[in-house]
Structure 1
């Protein structure tokens, strides 16, 4: 299919051979002669590789590049063999026992060699290894190794090859795609003949099963999804190895040498064969770029290489999507196309991956049909390919039947769906029956996630719901989102289904409890389906998504009230998480503002369920008990307010009730001491902590006073919240919070929440909730001792946090966050709290970020009362509740401007990964 032009410009084998023979004529000692030969080989190899690379950088044709690299090695090997057999180890008459053939196997056998790939060789001999054959093989191998090539090699007789091929499908596959290079061609022909007779004949089913099983194991090892944001382009789902698997099976079953031959046999359409070639060329081009860029056999599209690859492959920024996002979307669409091809090929092979054994299937599948669809081999199918043309709604019906009866769909039917998608016209999308069936699938008790994923993979979901089709393969270039938008959405639906079925009671007790109280579960499922539907459109996806919901929901048969509820949920699907993670839940105004937007208990229940599944579906390490605690607290406080409970009493009455509870919890405490302690406390402190914390604080303060200690530290791990609580009692002074946060950063602790209270006697009680990098409680016993020591050193001035962090940054490994650009942003809100000014700071995560920001706030003369710290991949969102030096909210325009500009300047130092990429920071009020 691909033909190399001007091959001699890549490598001139005759010229190389003449140069080698000229050295031979010099009659040099063997070591010197070999050194000169090695230099000639290196020159030819490097010039050949350079020419292939030069052409590739001009035409960006990876398929030609891998053929070109393979051709270079072919010619080198032919030359080496000729020199060794004619000049080093000549034989007047080669006996059959001295015959040798050099054979390419693996990717090299297919004539495909990536820039950094291994060279896999088989040295084939007839019988027992003769001394001459051994010498030739040894000479060639040493020369190849000295050239710096990575060589995978084996030396076997024909009988050994056949024996090992019978025992190992991997070796069988290697011989299947073996290619003759040089030597006794009759040996290779005999191997092919014997292999076809003793290995291939009658083993079609076994080989097919082995290769598909091998593929499934590989997918499972790498996550079993093609939609991870740092995919493996060789071994991952939808990668090159999947195409190779199809090629191997095709070659074994149909004895063809090229996929295009299946078109002549009427097993594939010409269009499908072209799609195979197109996918293969894209992946080869991408792999060549990746190898050239990294200079190593790298197969993962990691975040640090994605932007450069996007640029090299010509992807530029467009409205709504950056060049790297457009590049990755194209990659995922190609990976999806590989999945489509796999289903089509499997239909041709009459087999499918991961199908159930007949003995394990319920008896009903042995009926002649299910819901009007015939059953063949334990799978739903169709009588003829034109069924979906006559009634395209049957494409949806067969998925509903498969879901309801827990039975797979036959590859023939899936192939027909893929080929007949053009019949899903506008009339079908608006058809009442079609929409009812789709809604049945989405809201079914029987695992909608699997059914929707299969519908998505064959293209039906995006075709029937075009707005969903726009987010298929849509990625966001950040470290927070693990999956593409479509995969994230389908996973969220699956999590919602498992919550509803009681399978996640321990993980999500509140959602599991209230989901049964939801009045319209269909509204909830559709809201989950549509919550990210407008990503990548160049605007606020929540606002645009609400508009999409208002168009889609009536089509699904929803009433105007149901439609508006879905639209509201899509519009506000981030409201609950942003409130819980960025606002002080102990501030009554936070709860009041939240309730004013939610308005009803039904919306509150719907929003909690949507928020939980949305966060949980982002990635495996995103959800933790701390987030669950915050969402649960917000839900119960909002529910309480809606029922008239929380705000019915005044603030002073609730503070007095907290004080009385503390008195009752300490019946044996000296009354005067306790009253003295309470006289130092303000209502905000008493209302900020649960009773058990207030009790613990009393003991801590009593210990500090008894020991006359200037500093007292208490650490408590709370696994139910996934945090370690660090309480510090010390004399208050400006910058205390900043220095404490610096000490924790030096020890590798991440602060997720902090409260700062100053008593009337001038003593401060600061509480930090900390985690490690994995989002779990910080530290073993030794780590906590080290943190205690570091806090004391920092407060005493023995350690300066900023210098320590800078020193560790220089000597440590480069953080992955440094490859990202995060636009610095400062938001100041004087309406979020009645008592404090709220400052929200957005920037790129790095060690010491919090320390720098809090140091700046201190220099600006601000008192930090509370801090909420959130990290979303490479982005930090820190929120501070502050007052001025007089204990008042900041309302002077000049002071507000100074705060914004100073913080933006601090953030801009580290916001962009290099000077060229710095964007104008945002300072907003």
Structure 2
């Protein structure tokens, strides 16, 4: 875009020296000189690359200089190759008017923005018509470049063809727009540039803008449609290099600028914006160059494993509460955010400019509609704007107010006003933060009924949000370095507020029916919105973010204007915002002690309602696919059981009454097969009847009756279970030690992930085990062949037809990138969480068949597993087991428990996985 300054060019490629050595090789080898020339150029290319790598190592952020250096290296190669081919391979001293050839750099090469393994995009421009000499030269140049191992994108066109195609094809039009002369016939290139301006550009500016923006929006959608995805695409992602290039393309096409710096002269950017444009571009180019060098290939996705390595290469260091990689990625997202802000302002100028051009020519030339005024702001064409350049300076509270008006009135903020707000955000000082009017306005915006999510995002991009709420500013662009969270902390928080707004408006009734009801029953809707804002506010501070966040809430809520009771409730919600999801996903909800302990912490219906709403939006705002019907069902069960306990002061029914009620419900479901309840009612103990839902009991009884009638020693039933978004796998077999871990192994071998397991033994010695299973992407198995594969794999595992251990070790993790994270195994024992069982919780890196390995250790330690609950947080798995010893007692503290802890940690650890893979 702006020609980079390449220092000490001969250290990269000394063209004069290489040309003279080629002449010597031609003299020595004659017609057989091609191979020695290729070897010479290979050495020169390797030396040039090595020099650029050294420069990047010495100056890790010098994106422009390094990208320009690689382009210079290719330029020099192309030039010596062109001279070699035209002078020695196909010399033609008396060329006709048609035998003209110009070599153009296009694409990233044309912009002088090449990473080490970027494609070399070349356009060959020929004279009046195609001819044999031009074709021979082009072919010879390409073959030499291919022999050097370069990836070439190329085209050969006459001038007429190039102009005709550019009119019809956006890609070709863009390629020629940034075409750069490299070598050959300069007058032919200049003629093409002149014809491009007069025949392609003139009159098609509006069409080009529209097509480019459509292309950009489609690209963003493919890449996740957020600049805050935690594994961003540096080139094509939102806020990446392609967005900067799009600005330049549009500016160059419409204003015919030749470099990005001329965008300032055209009035499309201020000097400060141009500097931030270049700063973001320099950083992104440097990151991309580091990624190419690390991977040895064209790599544009900044994956978790690369993030650590690039952060190290760019000299980022750990700081208290924030690792080097998190600091690096926070800076990355700050640059992506800046690109977004620049884009908004830039496009507004372009649109205004084109509109003015059109108005000057049109029927209504000279007519200007009058804007309306809203609280002193100008509103025109659906946009709100500050009436003067010093409007915010006169009263900085207006920096908050203009966003609140935009939300209340359903308006966009004019990009010029966004630019002003960004410039003047520094006017927000402690006096403004403590101003009751400013805080009341902010609270109205936060709890807005139209679209607070969008407006808060604008407020964040303008830098106003972080200045007014400095604690929020601290998590701005802060990455959460794990595979569970898809977005930065600020983006996750703003999305959670948006989801809360949609739930309140009834737009998510299907997915969140309970939260959609509860939001209209809570005593204070302000509490719900402020809790959503503050639940992750203290992330990255080096301590428990829930505890630290509750302290922040106690300070901020009175400032916002919340009452003492509202403040207490928000602080409690922030402190306990993970309580409901952890209880629902990691504990046995049929164990009365689970509900007792949960209710003891919640203590009131109002807290319970708010926590249910906050939990739903928090999980869903993590990213696509993190909310599913299984989690919804678990949270619903916990809410209903704890709500009943809170309202009545006890559970509505005792154990005996619950079992009788469940049997009656099952009989109703079974209809003509209701007699099965009577027949097998006493074979299955009370724990089974309490633990399993009515619909699963009904299915189990039919399967159990069939298995007994046919005297099957093993019966495996698999079916898609819509209510939980999973596949229900029921195994009926003669009970024997090790049954659970073998079933788990069989399910894993079939490609299944177990998300819940309930293990039962009938009074007649049969095991009846229910598993809920999903594929590695969180979807159920539902195709017939998938269900058959599950059945066969379980049957083979139980019949010892396969050796589970080596087969399981060979299965790849669905998230192989999990190796980029440090997850040390942690084993927790809890004898207070259940009256009957010891609860064992194992936290570890997710890996193939983790559940199988842990279950095997429990079996070999002579423990009985009664239920298992499996939760995944990206790269981290939490497996919870409810166990007793063989006599039905809990596992007491002592040497046996210490040994078990060590064995479980070893089974979950990296060293064990490595040994299994080696075996």
Give TM-score, length-normalised by structure 1.
0.92
Could you tell me which of 700, 703, 706 is aligned with 2:703?
700
Could you tell me which of 528, 533, 540 is aligned with 1:536?
540
C-alpha change, 1:132 and 1:484, in structure 2 (3 Å) is same
Tell whether 2:680 aligns with 1:688: no
Deviation at 1:785, TM superposition (A): 2.3
Structure 2 residues without counterparts, runs of 5 or longer: 360-368
Tell whether 2:768 aligns with 1:765: yes
Deviation at 1:569, TM superposition (A): 0.5
Deviates more, 1:278-287 or 1:163-172: 163-172
Deviates more, 1:340-349 or 1:459-468: 340-349
Contact 1:213–1:353, Cα closer than 8 Å, also in 2: no
Q: Which residue of 2 aligns with 1:489?
A: 493
Could you tell me which of 364, 372, 379 is aligned with 1:375?
379
- Residues 797-817 of structure 1 deviation map (CA, whole Å, 9 limit, x = unaligned): 2223223213445xx998333
Contact 1:218–1:236, Cα closer than 8 Å, also in 2: yes
Deviation at 1:779, TM superposition (A): 4.1
SS in 2 for 1:252: helix
- Residues 537-590 of structure 1 deviation map (CA, whole Å, 9 limit, x = unaligned): 111111111111111111110011101100101110000001100111111111
Q: Which residue of 2 aligns with 1:44?
A: 44
d(CA) in 2 for partners of 1:670, 1:220: 52
Q: Which residue of 2 aligns with 1:550?
A: 554
Q: Which residue of 2 aligns with 1:107?
A: 108
C-alpha change, 1:107 and 1:686, in structure 2 (3 Å) is closer
C-alpha change, 1:636 and 1:8, in structure 2 (3 Å) is same
Q: Which residue of 1 aligns with 2:365?
A: none
d(CA) in 2 for partners of 1:833, 1:513: 32
Q: Which residue of 2 aligns with 1:299?
A: 300
Tell whether 2:291 aligns with 1:287: no
Tell whether 2:7 aligns with 1:5: yes
Q: Which residue of 1 aligns with 2:28?
A: 26
d(CA) in 2 for partners of 1:496, 1:367: 34
Contact 2:809–2:913, Cα closer than 8 Å, also in 1: no
C-alpha change, 1:509 and 1:395, in structure 2 (3 Å) is same
- Give the 5 Å matches for 1:222-371: 222-263=223-264, 268-351=269-352, 367-371=371-375
Contact 2:811–2:848, Cα closer than 8 Å, also in 1: no
C-alpha change, 1:656 and 1:95, in structure 2 (3 Å) is closer
Deviation at 1:384, TM superposition (A): 2.1
C-alpha change, 1:105 and 1:707, in structure 2 (3 Å) is closer
Deviates more, 1:436-445 or 1:562-571: 436-445
Q: Which residue of 2 aligns with 1:118?
A: 119
- Give the 5 Å matches for 1:550-699: 550-644=554-648, 647-658=651-662, 677-699=680-702
Deviation at 1:503, TM superposition (A): 0.9
Q: Which residue of 1 aligns with 2:802?
A: 799
SS in 2 for 1:241: helix
Give TM-score, length-normalised by structure 2.
0.93
Q: Which residue of 2 aligns with 1:776?
A: 779
SS in 2 for 1:840: strand
- Give the 5 Å matches for 1:463-474: 463-474=467-478
Deviates more, 1:402-411 or 1:522-531: 402-411
- Give the 5 Å matches for 1:47-86: 47-60=47-60, 61-86=62-87
- Give the 5 Å matches for 1:833-844: 833-844=834-845
Contact 1:366–1:378, Cα closer than 8 Å, also in 2: no
Could you tell me which of 408, 411, 424 is aligned with 1:407?
411
C-alpha change, 1:807 and 1:149, in structure 2 (3 Å) is closer
Contact 2:371–2:380, Cα closer than 8 Å, also in 1: no
Q: Which residue of 2 aligns with 1:734?
A: 737
- Give the 5 Å matches for 1:79-98: 79-98=80-99
Deviation at 1:307, TM superposition (A): 1.5
Q: Which residue of 2 aligns with 1:889?
A: 890
Q: Cα RMSD between the aligned structures?
A: 2.7
C-alpha change, 1:73 and 1:884, in structure 2 (3 Å) is same
SS in 2 for 1:851: helix
C-alpha change, 1:231 and 1:666, in structure 2 (3 Å) is closer
SS in 2 for 1:518: coil
d(CA) in 2 for partners of 1:914, 1:201: 68
C-alpha change, 1:794 and 1:424, in structure 2 (3 Å) is same
Contact 2:446–2:456, Cα closer than 8 Å, also in 1: yes
d(CA) in 2 for partners of 1:229, 1:813: 18
- Residues 395-418 of structure 1 deviation map (CA, whole Å, 9 limit, x = unaligned): 222222222222222221111111
Aligned residues: 902
Q: Which residue of 2 aligns with 1:920?
A: none
Tell whether 2:518 aligns with 1:517: no
d(CA) in 2 for partners of 1:126, 1:488: 56
Contact 2:718–2:790, Cα closer than 8 Å, also in 1: no
Contact 1:550–1:564, Cα closer than 8 Å, also in 2: yes
d(CA) in 2 for partners of 1:643, 1:153: 74
d(CA) in 2 for partners of 1:669, 1:172: 72
Deviates more, 1:622-631 or 1:155-164: 155-164
Deviation at 1:469, TM superposition (A): 1.1
- Residues 585-625 of structure 1 deviation map (CA, whole Å, 9 limit, x = unaligned): 11111111111111111111111010011111111111111
C-alpha change, 1:914 and 1:196, in structure 2 (3 Å) is farther
Contact 2:122–2:154, Cα closer than 8 Å, also in 1: yes
- Residues 177-210 of structure 1 deviation map (CA, whole Å, 9 limit, x = unaligned): 2222222222222223333333444544443333
d(CA) in 2 for partners of 1:113, 1:694: 63
Deviation at 1:641, TM superposition (A): 0.8
d(CA) in 2 for partners of 1:874, 1:488: 19
